[in-house]
Chains A and B, each alone.
Chain A
Amino acid sequence: MFGERTLYKLFFYSFAVLMFSYSAYLFVSNIDQLSVNREAVETRELTDVWDDERTVMNEFAGGFWKDAYFWKSLNLTLIITLITTLIVSLAGIPTAYALSRYKIPGKAIIEILFSSIMVLPASSVGLCLIVALNHGPLFELQKWMGFRFAHSIFPGMIIASIVLSFVFGVSAWKATFSSINPRFETVARSLGSSRWRAFRTITLPMSKGGLAAGIILAWTRTMAEFGAVLFFCGTFAELPASRFSDLVKFLKIDQADWLSVAVWSQIEYGNVEYGFALAYVLVIIGGFSVYLMHRIGAKGYIW
């Protein structure tokens, strides 16, 4: 009754189902952390630093949708991610094009450098940034300019996010451009168009899917960034309102944190329900981007 083909399929399906259920169980089993239990309430009653926020914290998922801190953090994360993705696209697409088409001396070393940044621990990159920017000549430059890069929203967070998502975007776009035959461009140029026009009218439309996949990849990677932002920028939630400029207040991102950092800091404070609620928000956003990538049919793009 069970043919050999069925057995074969069952063998492979069982591994896939195993991984699926492990992943699903990881996320589903923690849902009960969202509900407030008696002990958590009692813990917060003991410390008197929670005076003004106790009513908000002691409900399901910490009542995060009512809290201004959550919306401001979401704002902050989305705005910084958008700006980062924009800058990475503008700088990364020419870089990827150069790496896939032109002969640059030491191209192999450049590619090895970029791919190893992808597998470095993210916090090491943040530490390298602090060492580079808070010591030596770059620090003098910052003192002369009057503001510091570290522990700031603009441009600190943007620098920290760009450093890591740039290499991911370049890797995806390079693969796209390499898969397009350069002959099309040569033909276009032999027919009289300039290089930029050939790129704009021939290569860009052909690689639209790959470019979109690279942009979504860079966006997802930036949203998932934690280590570099934590070490380079820290948290801003408890700083006084006078510390923030008017532009920041206008965009409603003052006294907010990067979402991944907010999850960690809320858990460290003991607000486990609130922290897990933020974590689930991030999981949903990330899951949605991954689903989108799969539907586009992006092949071979990995993080």
Chain B
Amino acid sequence: MIFSIRSRGTWWPALCIITTLTAVSLYFLLIAGNWLYLGWDDTTYFFTNPRMWQRFWLTVWTSTVSSSIAMIVGIPTGYALSRFQFPCRHFFASVIDLPIVVSPAIIGAFLFGITTRFPFDWISDYYGIYIGRNVYGVLLVQFTVTAAFCARLMKASFDMIPPRFETVSRSLGASNFRTFFKVVLPMAKNGILASMIVVWARAAAEWEGLMLFVGATEGKTDIMPFAIYLDWNGGMMGWVTSMTIVCILMALTAMSAMRIIGGKSHVW
């Protein structure tokens, strides 16, 4: 029993638990306040509106595409960062991590600059397509942020697997690539799945990079958080609150799935 009166110094556990419960109730009130503001009738109205589900579907498919590409790039990078020793390792890892430590609006400003420079402007002029201004801009922004995030997560996952397994496998005669695909990857499977879910959730919440250069075509480029911003600018509080509730539900679902799939093998 934690709160046995006879043991000394029970103020410390009491303090810890009270802090926890206060923090949890504040966060819960913050989130539930949205629903209280909206009211039951409005909730049914907005949730049955097809516009909401268009945005939802757009967010889901853009996040899936960009997080898949980010995973393809991120897994080998994480492995390289985790296993290989090379000079300036920390500097290398810091530069790769830079897109996530800076605010996403600044990344948007830099990406806007890069789409007007070589090689993007050359491709844009040659093929007559706009690179940054339509859904490909959304994918580009999401990819930039999630690839760095993914490399970080993968490095942490591969750090957890002792290198002894690979050494044993190679001493038994397997080639390097076979070891990687048949020994290391299956061991990291849980970590990879959990990371994929987290990266997906992060991509679905990425929008400040879109503010500066990707426009706001209804149904084509306004993913859910961006649509919240645009509707906030249009004074449509009903849409803002209901879409915030959907975003919160998406995040909660993703995190619950991550806990069920990842279990204890993940670094969180």
Interface residues of chain A, those whose CB is within 8 Å of chain B, are 4-5, 7-9, 11-13, 15-16, 18-20, 22-27, 29-30, 33, 91, 94-95, 97-99, 102-104, 108, 110-117, 119-125, 127-129, 131-132, 135-136, 163, 166, 170-171, 175, 194-197, 199, 220, 224-227, 231, 260, 263-264, 267, 275-276, 279, 282-283, 286-287, 289-291, 294-295, 299-303
- Min C-beta distance of B242 to chain A, whole Å: 12
B77/A264 in contact, CB under 8 A: no
Task: Find the B residue at minimum CB distance from A129.
Answer: B30
B56 in contact (CB, < 8 A): no
A5: B residues at CB distance < 8 A: 176
By size class, the interface of chain B is 35 or more
B94/A291 in contact, CB under 8 A: yes
Looking at B8-16, B45-53, B128-136, B214-222, the stretch in contact with chain A turns out to be B8-16
A8/B159 in contact, CB under 8 A: no
| Given A300-B267, A303-B101; A267-B20 close (CB under 8 Å) | no
| Complex CA–CA separation, A132 to B114 (angstroms) | 39
| Complex CA–CA separation, A300 to B105 (angstroms) | 25
Task: Find the B residue at minimum CB distance from A221.
Answer: B101
A123/B259 in contact, CB under 8 A: no
B175 in contact (CB, < 8 A): yes
Q: Across chains A and B, which 8 residue pairs bring their CB atoms closest together, nearest first?
A: A194-B9, A300-B267, A98-B16, A121-B225, A15-B76, A8-B176, A116-B251, A286-B101
B30/A132 in contact, CB under 8 A: yes
A171/B114 in contact, CB under 8 A: no
Residue with the highest number of chain B CB atoms closer than 10 Å, among A125, A225, A302, A303: A302
B234 in contact (CB, < 8 A): no
| Complex CA–CA separation, A110 to B8 (angstroms) | 28
B73/A131 in contact, CB under 8 A: no
B252/A16 in contact, CB under 8 A: no
B152: A residues at CB distance < 8 A: 302
| Complex CA–CA separation, A131 to B90 (angstroms) | 43
- Min C-beta distance of B1 to chain A, whole Å: 11
B80 in contact (CB, < 8 A): yes
A166/B77 in contact, CB under 8 A: no
Interface hits, B175-204 → A, CB 8 Å: 175-177, 180, 198, 201-202, 204
| Given A13-B80, A116-B252, A286-B101; A23-B228 close (CB under 8 Å) | no
B90: A residues at CB distance < 8 A: 291, 294-295
| Given A33-B113, A95-B16; A23-B99 close (CB under 8 Å) | yes
A128/B244 in contact, CB under 8 A: yes
Partner of A23, one of B33, B95, B156, B180: B95
| Given contact pairs A283-B102, A289-B101, A290-B93, a sample of 12 additional A-B residue pairs in the complex whose CB atoms are under 8 Å apart | A8-B176, A20-B95, A25-B114, A108-B259, A113-B28, A114-B27, A121-B225, A123-B229, A199-B12, A260-B106, A279-B102, A302-B156
* 13 A-B pairs whose Cβ atoms sit less than 8 Å apart in the complex: A16-B77, A30-B110, A33-B113, A120-B251, A123-B229, A131-B37, A194-B9, A199-B12, A264-B109, A282-B103, A300-B159, A302-B153, A303-B149
A20/B96 in contact, CB under 8 A: yes
| Complex CA–CA separation, A117 to B81 (angstroms) | 28
Interface residues of chain B, those whose CB is within 8 Å of chain A, are 2, 7-13, 15-17, 19-21, 23-24, 27-31, 33-34, 36-37, 73-74, 76-77, 79-81, 84, 90-107, 109-111, 113-114, 117, 144, 147-149, 151-153, 156, 159-160, 175-177, 180, 198, 201-202, 204-208, 211-212, 225, 228-229, 232, 240-241, 244, 247-248, 251-252, 254-256, 258-259, 267-268
B30/A225 in contact, CB under 8 A: no
Partner of A112, one of B36, B93, B156, B259: B259
| Given A225-B103, A263-B109; A99-B212 close (CB under 8 Å) | no
A29/B117 in contact, CB under 8 A: yes
A104: B residues at CB distance < 8 A: 17, 20-21
| Complex CA–CA separation, A302 to B109 (angstroms) | 24
- Min C-beta distance of A141 to chain B, whole Å: 13
Partner of B99, one of A7, A26, A129: A26
- Min C-beta distance of B97 to chain A, whole Å: 5
Partner of B76, one of A11, A116, A287, A299: A11
| Complex CA–CA separation, A303 to B228 (angstroms) | 23
Partner of A120, one of B11, B100, B147, B248: B248
A112: B residues at CB distance < 8 A: 252, 255-256, 259
A33: B residues at CB distance < 8 A: 113
B102/A267 in contact, CB under 8 A: no
Partner of A124, one of B73, B247, B256: B247
| Given A26-B144, A115-B255, A124-B244; A286-B113 close (CB under 8 Å) | no
